[in-house]
Amino acid sequence: MMTKLKILGAVLALVGFECLLAYFVIPSPEDVIEAAELRARQHTATEPDIEELTTVSDKPTVEVDLKNFGITAYQPLANTTLRIDFHLYAMVNAENQSEFESLIAQNEHRFREQVLVTLRSSEVSDLTDPSLGLLKRKILEKTNRILGKPLVKSVIFSDYSFIEQ
């Protein structure tokens, strides 16, 4: 009987020690809020504001035709076929237009492949988004990566059609 009491006492002491340790290690809700506010202040100090990113630059821009795209993608899980048709344009600073056109001509097939892969790998919710924001950002980022320079300022979808059968 005495050994059972010793084991019980040891277990209680261990549980008590773990509770005491957790009390000192786990932060209080106030500490968590304070740390989150500090991280938010640091983040806003290092990151540019959304307004700064979306402001139109003083430089004139031109729309460059990136041609028509017609994509058919089969969705085996939903047993549906998606048909996506659109005309794609890139907004480029006027001073960079000739450089952009020569680079896009050199990388035309890689560019088209990246657009096709991006749209085929997109979720239906991204394809039905009225602003197509996620698709525009993905295509913009991949296009600038292919070109090796951030020449494209924005991407424009024209005559966009999405059909799910």
Q: pLDDT at position 30, please?
A: 81
Let me know if residue 56 belongs to a domain. no
Let me know if residue 132 belongs to a domain. yes
Q: Is the whole model's pTM more than 0.85, yes or no?
A: no
Q: How confident is the model at residue 51 (pLDDT cuts 50, 70, 90)?
A: very low
Residues 38 and 83 in one domain: no
Let me know if residue 77 belongs to a domain. yes
Residues 72 and 41 in one domain: no
Instruction: Could you list the beta-strand ranges (E) of 4-115.
Output: 61-75, 80-93
Residue range 101-150, pLDDT digits in tens:
999 999 999 999 999 999 998 888 888 888 898 999 999 999 999 999 89
Residue 104, CA distances (Å) to 26, 47, 120, 122, 130 in order: 54, 30, 21, 23, 27
- The CATH number that applies at residue 87 is 3.30.479.30
Residues 25 and 104 in one domain: no
Residues 27 and 80 in one domain: no
Residues 77 and 42 in one domain: no
Over residues 72-77, mean pLDDT? 86
Q: Assess whether pLDDT exceeds 50 at residue 54.
A: no
Residues 104 and 36 in one domain: no
Let me know if residue 30 belongs to a domain. yes
Residues 87 and 16 in one domain: no
Q: Assess whether pLDDT exceeds 60 at residue 47.
A: no
How many domains does the structure of the chain reveal? Answer: 2
Q: Domain span at residue 26?
A: 2-47
Identify any residues that bridge with 71 across adjacent strands, giving them in sequence order.
84
Let me know if residue 53 belongs to a domain. no
Instruction: Count Cα atoms within 13 angstroms, Cβ side, for 30.
Output: 0
Residues 96 and 131 in one domain: yes
Residues 13 and 38 in one domain: yes
